[in-house]
Amino acid sequence: MFNPFRRAAPEEKAARNAAMQAGNDTARAGLLWKNGARLLERKKPERAVEVMRQAYELEPSRLEGRLNLGAALFLSGQHAEAIGHFRYVLAFDPQSTMALLNLAASLDAVGQLQESVDTLQLLVERRPTWRDAHYNLGVGLYKLKMYTEAQDALRAELKLNPEHQLARDLLNTIYRLPHLTPDERRARTEAMSNEEL
């Protein structure tokens, strides 16, 4: 005989409760990710890390959340941990400009300068007209004492953004370095004045 009010078996109840809990966890994680992003915008990275770690426990696969958590970790001085989050984002979204830039900054902060420059070169390849990409590459190359390459990167930035004062200042610093012969300095100065015309 058919009974429309049949009681659910314990395993059916457990499955239904688990599905409801998963939905609740996803909703809760969404709120935590959003609150963490707000804290990050308000320049409270330490508090943002606390909130985003809770969200991460509930929903570790949200790319935007992982990018924001990485940024909060970087800003709070936890550079090594930030690297893992940026790499995770790049594994799923290799074109993520912000993940590449933040990964490079984190690598630089932990002393992996060559890998930082390699990451910045990848950023420039993928986004050649993105503001500050060439400048950041120039800074990294300058730190590696690769002055000729740094000059090229800084000139590329100035071609895209002629008003970029930091790029101009660093380029001038490189021009004044003793590694250039007087003839090289003169040629660089002429090239720079021709670029300004």
Domains of the chain and any CATH numbers: 22-126 (1.25.40.10), 128-197 (no CATH)
Cα–Cα distance between 140 and 105 in angstroms, integer? 10
Q: For position 26, what pLDDT does the model report?
A: 85
pTM over 0.85: no
Alpha helical stretches, state H, 42-181: 45-58, 63-75, 79-92, 97-109, 113-126, 133-143, 147-160, 165-175
Token readout for 66 is 């992982």
* Size (the chain), residues: 197
Under DSSP, is residue 155 helix (H, G, I), strand (E, B) or coil? helix
Cα–Cα distance between 179 and 28 in angstroms, integer? 58
Q: For position 133, what pLDDT does the model report?
A: 94
Q: For position 18, what pLDDT does the model report?
A: 44
Q: For position 22, what pLDDT does the model report?
A: 52
Place of tokens 């004492």: 145
- Residues 168 and 176: beta-carbon distance below 8 Å: no
- Which parts of the chain register pLDDT below 70? 1-23, 179-197
User: What percent of the chain is predicted at pLDDT more than 90?
Assistant: 73
